Amino acid sequence: MRVLLVGAGGVGTAITRIAARRAFFDHMVVADYDPGRAAAAVASVADAEERFTSAQIDASDEIAVTALLKETRSDVLLNATDPRFVMPLFNAALAAGVHYMDMAMSLSYPHPEHPYEQCGVKLGDAQFEQAGAWDKARRLALVGMGVEPGLSDVFARYAADKLFDEIDEIGIRDGANLTVDGYDFAPSFSIWTTIEECLNPPVVYESGRGWFTTEPFSEGEVFDFPEGIGPVECVNVEHEEVLLIPRWVDARRVTFKYGLGDEFINTLKTLRRLGLDRTAPVKVASDLGNAQVSPRDVVAACLPDPATLGERMHGKTCAGTWVKGTKDGQPREVYLYHVVDNQWSMREYGCQAVVWQTAVNPVVALELMAAGTWAGTGVMGPEAFAPQPFLDLLTEYDSPWGLREQ
């Protein structure tokens, strides 16, 4: 297998370090808009001269990406950029006749008249509209294959296959006790993506009703996370799992709730009140004259790069899937989860916990694709595939998962 990895930020760099320890691929090209960042990601792995090279690419340039895929004789494009670049990369992979994988899906757009009641354009809609073309091309677009979405979806399929006869609710629950020395506010993941998913109308699924939306940060609940993290207040947030899981798993209700905390929520609300969550450029006077600047990009530029926070970060992060239903006529409730300790991920890989936890899952999926264990055509989510091989291989990567009866 030959891989073109687009995006050499925190997650992309972690992908190279994890993949370097595995033998399933022949070559990986790490490409980024900043050639120095791509070169640094390659330089951080031991066998850089043998299996890794770097390249410069503009992820928004579909024609250039298509040409690079052909030039590098790649079999698959792995997208480690933010969601703005999903569609040009997705389209380039199809045009080049290669497989595709991402960790976040195409952007949503709220309903113009009833944003907190009805869905507008949903996450992934633009990709699923092209499922027929991917099937016709006999190529696989594996979408939403990070940790959330990704591993959380694998957990949902495992619960449906192994643990339940009927499922009342599947709820993704994400929480952490991470702290960052020296910062009052320092998101552990891309602030651009965080603003997008937290301030958009959250989506909920109910059988018989389908997908609908609610107010941001609605339906707060306290969820007790394992391995010492403890109780964290979680709220509804827009996320891909709610759009993916019902396509392949039978459940009466699907939700996603994120443990943000009051301070984080209030900061995001303030950004919205000030208009700093907007992506459309505004005119700003500068020493060089007027400039067109996206307010959200300014916020991102004022905050530390999440990939650089590992040495200052302490604690654990937990991603998991809570499932409630019946088995053999009896009620059952479980939480399937994956915890990463920042001290461990920094010691073993030099990557902070959140980006490492995101990065390990697409590498596992690539290995299953290379072996033919996960195979298919069209646009498919992680829950479309057999979960046991993935969970077994994840454990082999020295990254075990857990199951707790509730």
What tokens appear for 237 in the block?
């947030």
Q: Average pLDDT for residues 265-277, to the nearest whole number?
A: 87
Q: Average pLDDT for residues 249-266, to the nearest whole number?
A: 91
263: three-class secondary structure by DSSP = helix
pLDDT at 307: 73
Q: Which of 49-72 are b and which e, b meaning 16 or more Cβ less than 10 Å from the residue's Cβ? A: eebbbbbebebebbebbbebbeeb
Q: Which of 261, 263, 367, 258 is nearest to 25 (CA)?
A: 367
Q: The pTM is what?
A: 0.92
Inform me whether the pLDDT recorded for 84 exceeds 70: yes
pLDDT at 304: 81
Digit-coded pLDDT (tens) for 278-301: 888 898 888 878 889 888 888 888
323 or 313, greater pLDDT: 323
Inform me whether the pLDDT recorded for 20 exceeds 90: yes
Q: How far apart are CA 249 and CA 284, in angstroms?
A: 48
Give the rounded percent of residues in the chain with a pLDDT score beyond 90: 80
Q: What is the mean pLDDT of the chain?
A: 94
Q: Which of 171-191 are b and which e, b meaning 16 or more Cβ less than 10 Å from the residue's Cβ? A: bbbbbbbbebeeeeebbbbbb
Inform me whether the pLDDT recorded for 253 exceeds 70: yes
pLDDT at 290: 86
Inform me whether the pLDDT recorded for 193 exceeds 90: no
Inform me whether the pLDDT recorded for 63 exceeds 80: yes
Q: Residue 48: pLDDT band by 50, 70, 90 thresholds?
A: low
Inform me whether the pLDDT recorded for 324 exceeds 90: yes
Q: Average pLDDT for residues 223-238, to the nearest whole number?
A: 95
pLDDT at 1: 97
